[in-house]
Amino acid sequence: MHDIVIRGGTIVDGTGKAPFAGDVAIAGGRIAGVGGKAAPGKREIDAAGLLVTPGWVDVHTHYDGQAMWDPLITPSSWHGVTTVMFGNCGVGFAPVKKEHRGALMDLMEGVEEIPNPVLSAGLSWDWESFPQFMDALERRPRAIDICAQAAHLPTRVYVMGDRAVRREPATADDIVEMRRLTVEALRAGAFGFTTSRTDSHKTPDGELVASRDADDHELLGIGAALGITGSGAFGMNSDFDDEEFELRWMRKQARETGRPVWFLLTDRYTDPQRWRRLIKAVHEARAEGLPITAQMAGRPIGVMMGIGTALNPFTVRPTYKKLESLPIEEQRRRLRDPQVRAQILAETPSEAEIAKLAQFRQEVAKAFDRFFTMGNPPDYEPGPEKSVAVIAARERRAPEEVAYDYILEDGQYLYYPVVNYVTGDHAPILEMLNDPACLLGLSDGGAHCTSIVDSGVPTFMLTHWSRDRARGPKLPVEALVKRQTSETADFFGLADRGRLAPGLRADVNLIDYARLKVQKPELVHDMPAGGRRFVQKVDGYEATFVAGTQIYARGEHTGALPGRLVRAGRNEQMLHAAE
């Protein structure tokens, strides 16, 4: 007799195979059978009318800190995610010397907008080395599985101290030590190494991050660790301001180590054809047998702007800035005062304040043609008629007035697609989703607490791309499930999950597809030190299982905490042992 039998559902097994009807049997935390009619189970679940899928494997998050204090890893776990990977974009918290803890928290705040006070209150710092960090993660109970990558910024600061922060070139000895630490991290179970090479990543003081200008000697010297261990992937976020240079060292890295190399691929308003040049280069490298992949997002990466958010069109105006420290409701009350409104609208944005911001943030003061009303459920592919500029022209008002009055409404936010919206629709994203050289990622779960919440992208992939899209072609649900299960798991060597197949982990979602819906983002105060963040709730997940244990029932946590830290290489050993 099986432990659980999920009967009569529509199975979307994660392989890309068309949906089919049948039962899914679970025994000992693993899939015991898929399809047909299973033998009896100690517990039987009627899944008629429901999709039965693998749990989502989200490989681009920033739960490095939250994994220390939140056993549920929300909002991702609400959205059927059963495995998350962090340590992306070169930021993390290990290795670390005591005197550098503040610097790493500053970097995480500057790059990923996770406030320093939250991190100070939430991190125990009961580690120094990366292996000790992994042990600290392993000791904590959790609902879903977590995976970590080694990161360039903490490694560089650990080895070079203030020289790293000043972005001085690494010496030969520095590189040898960073490579040694990376080998150590990979042997402790890290799934790879990541770095940041973009001007969008700055410290809270506006300085570029320590890895921004690392040369190819440093990048290749550290990256050689992956060849030494024969494990891990090398990931990068770059502006590609020198495309030839970046592509040359990436190709060399892939060739010399034989390990996967990936970078983040987005379009940009300032260079609409950049992504096409880069994906062409990826195809050329792959034709030579080089394992290079572009990681892409399933929707535009967009900033939400309102009262209490990190940015809005008025945050660089002096009168508004004076009110930002007030509680949100008090801010809203004061901003409704006609005199305050008139004063803020009359002010010119401070050029000095604008200059401190990253380039895309500078646009927040003026790009009214790219600011859109969101609605509920939120519209992530808005037409021009929803832009502040068009609404202002239609109503014969100034765009600033339209924006101001809209965000004053309780719970309303303007949506600014920063990247992946050059064409004003999702056409480029569709091309990327249809390209096998692209890997789905970039949910950024846990990051950008008061400006972005893309943790719900796994749900959005189904609701928008397979069911609700109105401004262009849709995609088959089986392809979208495959994109965020077997493909993401296979890329990073998570061989024991990502499919509904006998012997694999029973990470399973039961989804009411007709009822599946992402809610409008909302700001909550539920982090350490009373920190504020966006969350995005969801309807339609009837049940989520991790290793055969149900962790959610219709959106409510069951109290179960079957999740664990996954160490690279060891899940395959466990799979073979199970076989």
Residue identified by tokens 């660790």 is 225
Q: What's the pLDDT score for residue 412?
A: 93
CB 347 within 8 A of CB 318: yes
As a whole number of Å, the end-to-end CA separation of the chain is: 19
> Cα–Cα–Cα angle for 447, 448, 450, nearest 5°?
130
What's the pTM?
Answer: 0.96
Angstrom CA distances, 562 to 364, 503, 546, stand at 42, 18, 6
pLDDT along the chain (579 residues), means of 10: 98 98 98 98 98 99 98 98 98 97 94 95 98 98 98 97 95 98 98 95 86 96 98 97 97 98 95 96 98 98 95 91 94 97 90 66 82 94 97 97 95 94 97 98 96 97 98 98 98 98 98 97 96 97 98 98 95 48
Classify strands 81-86 and 56-58 as parallel, antiparallel or unpaired: parallel
Determine phi and psi for 296, rounding to 5 degrees. -130, 165
**Domain boundaries in the chain?**
2-54+505-524+533-578, 57-300+423-491, 303-419
Angstrom CA distances, 161 to 111, 190, 215, 324, stand at 19, 23, 18, 34
Amino acid at 381: E
Query: Using CA atoms, how far apart are residues 270 and 194, in angstroms rounded to an integer?
Result: 25
Determine phi and psi for 376, rounding to 5 degrees. -145, 115
Q: Report domain 57-300+423-491's class.
A: alpha beta
Query: Using CA atoms, how far apart are residues 292 and 121, in angstroms rounded to an integer?
Result: 39
CATH number of 2-54+505-524+533-578: 2.30.40.10
C-alpha radius of gyration, the chain, whole number: 23
